[in-house]
Amino acid sequence: MSRDGTWTFRRSGGDKRRPAGRLACDAAAVTDRERLVDLWARVESDLRAALSLSTGLVRKKPLCGVEQFLDHNELGLGFEALVDALLEVNRVTLPDGVYPALVRARDEMQLSYEPWDRLADCFGSS
């Protein structure tokens, strides 16, 4: 860092200077990005766990749609599609682990989805 509080970056075409505080902002952005990537990984893991536990319970076509959403990091859409598919199932309970995984995913994403309330009413004690 130079005396005037800027970092000097040498590139072809001369020196480029930017304020030292800019590096702190870049570091914060990297940290925020890392937190976001970690969040996505946790949510995807929970949704894939619920999806795999629901195989055989839900028709194959809706599950393929959920998987496609997850493959493209469309986690909210994947959540909604899985909830919708589970609501079509005529069961009193869900396999162990499905509802808690969906709760974690919903809480992490801070989603509000009206059909979720119906699923919670039906399976909340599962």
* 26-70 confidence digits (pLDDT tens): 666 668 888 889 999 999 999 999 999 988 888 778 888 899 999
Q: Does pTM top 0.75 for this prediction?
A: no
Q: What is the pLDDT of residue 61?
A: 81
Are 5 and 20 in contact, with CB atoms under 8 Å apart?
yes
Q: Where are the domains of the chain?
A: 40-126
Q: What is the mean pLDDT of the chain?
A: 80
Neighbours of 86 (CB within 10 A): 23
Say which residue the tokens 């709760």 belong to. Answer: 103
| CA gap 4, 62 in Å, rounded | 61
Amino acid letter for position 30: V
Structure tokens at 71: 């493959």
Say which residue the tokens 């000097």 belong to. Answer: 8
